[in-house]
Amino acid sequence: MIICHQHRYLFVEHPRTGTTAISKELVTQYDGKRILKKHSTYRDFLKSATDDEREYFVFTTVRNPLDNAVSHYFKLLTDHRDYYSGRIKNKPFLHIPERIDWFLFNYIQKKRIDFPSFFRLFYILPYDNWASTEKGHYDFVMRFENLQEDFNTVLRKIGLEPTRSLPPRNVTAERKKEFYEYYTPDIIPQAKRVFGPFMRYWGYQFPAGWGEVEVPWWNRLELNFFNIFRKAYWYYFRQMI
């Protein structure tokens, strides 16, 4: 999380949405300062924020989950920056997302499965992240797919002019194709079910060649059910470890 008191802004970071590039740019070019943990939530910020800080311009990033899943797979496959073989194994056991990634990393390294197999096995529940639960607090949501232009828009909204283009940072290795090309016909129905509610909520579209996509009521109900447990972790349990 990056804050700037001079320009009165707060940047909330979500995993695999270009936050490394944005955060470093804010710190080096626009007087930003890191506070709390990298992937802290806006609710975390509110616990210690002053009345004045609560009025800051708040922005974040989201990413097409179809693309996010492909990035997730290749980061695990390539042991991105030695994170999974190094730093992550030293995380506390009760850090559930890191423990899950540790398991996935070891499974992929052992089995050397391809993306469709990875997706079929591990993307089963309806997808969501805490950006959805905090959407009402954000003054602007940048899209990973339009990151440079959206970042320039944010800067101008807080009274700044871009000093340069965003340098590429934290790029995922070995991706050779567009993300949608990794989805084979046999996993497309699963992708529609898993990602449908999130994509509808954030205004993302499935590839045109996938045909009509309708998000049924029971799929949204399923998402709401599992989000009860996700929110408990995001907002309460995670703060205890």
Domains of the chain listed by start with CATH number: 2-63+130-157 (3.40.50), 65-126+174-240 (no CATH)
Provide the pLDDT for residue 51. 96
Provide the pLDDT for residue 162. 94
Provide the pLDDT for residue 40. 86
Provide the pLDDT for residue 89. 59
Instruction: Tell me the pairing of strands 2-4 and 33-34.
Output: antiparallel
The structure tokens 């506070």 sit at: 35
Burial level of 214, CB count in 10 A (0-12/13-18/19+)?
exposed
pLDDT in tens, the chain (241 residues): 999 999 999 999 988 898 999 999 999 999 999 998 877 889 989 999 999 999 999 999 999 999 999 999 999 998 866 766 666 556 555 566 677 777 888 899 889 999 999 999 999 999 998 888 889 999 999 999 999 999 999 999 999 999 999 987 656 666 778 999 999 999 999 999 999 999 999 999 999 889 877 888 888 888 888 888 887 877 776 655 5
Which whole-number Å values give the CA distances from 5 to 11, 56, 63, 99, 140, in the listed order? Answer: 12, 8, 27, 35, 18
Provide the pLDDT for residue 179. 93
Which amino acid would we find at residue 198? Answer: F
List CB contacts of 81: < 8 A, sequence separation 6 or more: 170
Strands of the sheet with 9-11, listed across from one edge: 33-34, 2-4, 9-11, 57-62, 140-143
